[in-house]
Amino acid sequence: MTSQPPPPPQSGAQAVPTCYRHPDRETYVRCQRCERPICPDCMREAAVGHQCPECVRDGGREVPQARATFGGAAVAVPRVTWTLLILNVLAYGAEVLRPDEVVQRFAMWSLGVHMGEWWRLITSAFLHSPPPSFWHILFNMWALYAIGPELERRLGSGRFAALYLLSALGGSVAIYLFGTSAVGASGAIYGLFGALFVVARRLGYDARGVLWLIGINVVLTFVVPGISWQGHLGGLVTGTIVAAGFAYAPPRNRTLVQTGIAAAVLVALVLLVTMLPPYGLPLEGAFT
């Protein structure tokens, strides 16, 4: 007794499609981009139909990232501004607990910097007039809160951080050259004032209000006793220069140009401290 062989497959018959990631799963749905079969676990919602995980990932890479007005990633939350606020408040808390020790070790002191205590150029920008004076830190932190987020969104977080720190350093270098000692973030704050003016002009906004703000504060610098005019004007000039470099850098190679400008300002400030002695008279310390 013999058996008949199985009949051949019918003409046009095709194999059942399976998911390209899960070969044991039958599916009749295909990715809208690459047309590979995908099972329910691999389906990703798309504008039309579904896509596979690889196409969704590749498509995300192709979408241009949002940018700040003058370069850098777009800023949704001004994290640098909040970080600077927190650091200033924490430093002030240290002053409340141990005022003499903190101020003596970290305040700006020209002779100390000349003898190698370089950290004072930056740490002094996070200190303020110790208690019972509270208006000093309140004014500076209010100004940072008021204009910091807008500048950070326009410049990008990295550029804003560079602007703030370079302005603070510029104020300290001016104190080193023409003053004796001081504490305060006003050098950095005045740098933000100058940057706000530059950004307003670059974007075509009416900058007269910013000019009034700068003018009033400059007058107060010379009218109110005990304020370091060196720190205020040094920060203002430095911040204006850095902001102008950031705002007016050509779109082509913008990041390279902006980095070069920030580096050039940093090198210039360092050279001023290393090449020149402090010229300030031994006057009583001031706050900025």
How does DSSP assign 196-253, residue by residue?
A: HHHHHHHTT---HHHHHHHHHHHHHHHHSTTB-HHHHHHHHHHHHHHHHHHHSS-STT
Q: Is residue 34 predicted with pLDDT exceeding 70?
A: yes
pLDDT at 144: 97
Res. 14: pLDDT tops 50:
yes
What pLDDT is stored for residue 60 in this prediction?
Answer: 60
What digits encode the pLDDT tens for the residues 139-168? 999 999 999 999 999 999 999 999 999 999
Instruction: Give the pTM.
Output: 0.77
Q: What mean pLDDT is predicted for residues 38-42? A: 87
Mean pLDDT, the chain, as a whole number? Answer: 88
Sorted by sequence, the CB contacts under 8 Å of residue 31 that are 6+ apart come out as 37, 38, 50, 51, 52, 55
Question: Active-site residue numbers?
Answer: 186, 232
